[in-house]
Amino acid sequence: MALSALATGNGRSAPRGWCSTLVRLEVAPNVLESVPKRYQQSPTLFRSLLPFPPRLEDHVRGTFVLTGADLERLKNRVLSKWDSVDIVEAESDSNSTVSSKPTKLSTFVLTCAYTFVCIAKAWHGVEKEKNKFVSGFPMDWRARLEPPIPENYFGNCVWGSLVDAKPSAFLEEEGLVIIAKSTHGKIKEMVDKGVFHVIVNAGPRYAALAKEGVERLGIVGSNRFGVYGNDFGWGKPSKVEIASVDRALTIGLAENRDAKGGVEIGIVLKRPVMDLFATLFRTGLSDE
């Protein structure tokens, strides 16, 4: 399936003075199959950044914080069990391998693993039929393409990658360790083997997960963007919210505005799920 559109995104000729580029996007049929049918025929599917409607009814928005001390505690917990907890990868054609025990783990890996496991357990606790999950994350490709994109390129160049863990791993007793190891391994795989390595089986796996009804957990934002340091002339922001997290089961990341080294996590969930998530998130940080 081929789609062509002007960079202006409205399907019309660009106004005089605009720099427009004709973009041709080849979409594999098995990738399109993973998109809900009601959106497959939408003329705005590949132009809209937010093709899914917001989840408003019976949902609440919350912001949770992992401090530097919390992240250190999570890191020590994961690394202490790194060699004793095995990973059973998802039933896919993935060629990824679990890396050896690292000396440190990034804030990104720890935050995603801990938050996703808490979300999965909270959702399963409220709705027992929700028992299969998969997590993914976007990766900046600009400097990783061959040849690399010029430094003055202004635009997006990202690709999402799914973590190679079985869908039930999020609910296991050592789910935090399993997902942290899997996420760390996937990042290392892309760094070592190149970003195109992860594309080979992406389409079939997305389609298979969609047919199985697996819930996908995603990420927007980053704790490295420095959003609280932005000042457009009226002062730095006192609170940053990523509005699009109400469109899917997605968490929004930003640096901790109150202290150096932490991270803020924005999330939208059904109220009963949010209540249980908050409890799991809080108590999980105190357990040793």
pLDDT in tens, 145-186: 878 888 888 888 888 888 988 999 999 999 999 999 999 999
CA nearest 273: which of 57, 58, 54? 58
Q: Does residue 36 sit within a domain? A: no
In whole angstroms, give the CA distance from residue 175 to residue 113.
Answer: 8
The per-residue pLDDT for 9 is 34
The per-residue pLDDT for 130 is 93
Q: Does residue 232 sit within a domain? A: yes
Q: Does residue 5 sit within a domain? A: no
In whole angstroms, give the CA distance from residue 135 to residue 219.
Answer: 9
In whole angstroms, give the CA distance from residue 79 to residue 268.
Answer: 30
Q: Does residue 22 sit within a domain? A: no
In whole angstroms, give the CA distance from residue 60 to residue 275.
Answer: 10
Q: Does residue 62 sit within a domain? A: yes
Q: Does residue 79 sit within a domain? A: yes
CA nearest 158: which of 239, 246, 218? 218
The answer to whether 134 touches 110, Cβ cutoff 8 Å, is no
Q: Does residue 13 sit within a domain? A: no
**Residues in the chain with pLDDT values less than 70:** 1-52, 88-99, 201, 287-288
Structure confidence by residue, pLDDT tens digits, 208-243: 888 888 999 999 999 988 999 988 898 989 999 898
In whole angstroms, give the CA distance from residue 174 to residue 165.
Answer: 13
In the chain, the number of structural domains is 1
The answer to whether 239 touches 252, Cβ cutoff 8 Å, is no
Q: How distant, in Å, are the alpha carbons of 1, 115, 236 from that of 33?
A: 12, 28, 43
Identify the CATH number of the domain in which residue 108 sits. 3.30.559.10
Tokens of 86: 């095995």
The per-residue pLDDT for 79 is 96
Domain that holds residue 119: 56-286
The answer to whether 254 touches 225, Cβ cutoff 8 Å, is yes
Q: Does residue 184 sit within a domain? A: yes
